[in-house]
Amino acid sequence: MHQTASEMRTRHDDPAAPETGSTPASPMYDRLFVIAGLAGIVAVSWAYLMIEAGRMGSTDMVAMVELRPRDATGLILLFLMWAVMMVAMMLPSATPTLLLYAAIARKLSPELNQGVVTAAFALGYIVAWTVFSLVATFLQWGLEQLTLLSPMMKSSSYSLGGVLLIAAGMYQWTPAKDICLKHCQTPLLFIAQRWRSGADGALWLGLTHGLYCIGCCWVLMGLLFVGGVMNLLWVAAIAIFVLIEKAAPFGRETGRGVGLLLIVTGIYVFASSFAV
């Protein structure tokens, strides 16, 4: 059973509201637990990417063949790479929302294990991006079939690179982008409107939050094919931009400014295809 926003406020404001279960841990402990868990997941994800990038950067032909989707094994390994990459890129920008959720859950459901429900929220978020990773895997497979990617998973076509840049830049100015970004920038309103108690409710909230984040950033992920899917500097640059766009007070303005830059760059790159 889930609670409405009004029920949330009633219980939060009423000091006489009954609480059951054992005495919960301190808010500081909860916060440190969440931060440590997220930091660990992100660190392991980046370590994996660094190992894979190092193998490919050292002209390890076995590594290159493994991550090129020529058969079922290649697709599975490529999917794993995309799934880990999305966690490494997107989980940091979701950390403020996860911390907010943990604080709210502690007040509204003190009888529950806060580590469990927060982990469920994070799992739902990761599941959403894992599904996106599956789509990205088959997209890369299609580009491979059309010989539009280099062995380093970078666009080998000026036309494709230009189109991806222009599309990413234009999307920064669309109403869909505004709606999804506003949700990511105001997580308190999202949690209040869609609150569901329990681990299953946390899982659903995390999944829903992840879908909004996909709506905010899915076109930007196409830029990975422009700079190179395994170019970790490029991957980190996109991740930092996403974090700034979501968390900084000037995030929306920054996003639109970068959008204009992407459009201009995309036009230049696309025009270059006719000069080659």
Residue of 145 and 240 predicted with greater confidence: 240
Per-residue pLDDT, 196: 85
Contact 263, 256 (CB under 8 A): no
Structure tokens at 68: 């090129």
**Surface-to-core class of residue 20, CB atoms within 10 Å of its CB (0-12 exposed, 13-18 middle, 19+ buried):** exposed
Structure tokens at 199: 């681990």
Q: How confident is the model at residue 137 (pLDDT cuts 50, 70, 90)?
A: very high
272: closest CA among 107, 157, 168?
A: 157
Q: How many CB atoms lie within 10 A of CB 151?
A: 14
Tell me the chain's radius of gyration from C-alpha atoms. Answer: 21
Phi-psi region of 3 (alpha: psi -120 to 50; beta: other; left: phi over 0): beta
In this structure, of 146-150, 204-208, 214-218, the range with the lowest mean pLDDT score is: 146-150
What tens digit of pLDDT does each residue of 158-202 get? 999 999 999 999 999 999 999 999 998 888 888 888 888 888 999
The pTM assigned to this predicted structure is 0.83
Per-residue pLDDT, 72: 80
Which residue, chain included where needed, has tokens 């979701």? 94
What tens digit of pLDDT does each residue of 49-66 get? 999 888 776 554 445 455
Per-residue pLDDT, 156: 87
Whether the CA torsion 158, 161, 164, 165 is positive or negative: it is negative
Q: Over 60: is that where the pLDDT of 6 sits? A: no
Q: Over 50: is that where the pLDDT of 129 sits? A: yes
153: closest CA among 49, 73, 242, 255?
A: 49
Q: How confident is the model at residue 252 (pLDDT cuts 50, 70, 90)?
A: very high
- Rounded Cα distance, 138 and 233, in Å: 24
- Rounded Cα distance, 267 and 180, in Å: 26
What percent of the chain shows pLDDT beyond 90?
52
Contact 270, 163 (CB under 8 A): yes
Q: How many CB atoms lie within 10 A of CB 228?
A: 19
Per-residue pLDDT, 22: 42
Structure tokens at 1: 């059973």
In this structure, of 68-77, 183-192, 216-225, the range with the lowest mean pLDDT score is: 68-77
35: CB partners within 8 A, 6+ apart: 95, 99
Q: How confident is the model at residue 20 (pLDDT cuts 50, 70, 90)?
A: very low
Residue of 15 and 182 predicted with greater confidence: 182
Count CA atoms closer than 13 A to 233's CA, side-chain side: 2
Average pLDDT, the chain: 84
Per-residue pLDDT, 10: 46
Is 153 strand, coil or helix? Answer: coil
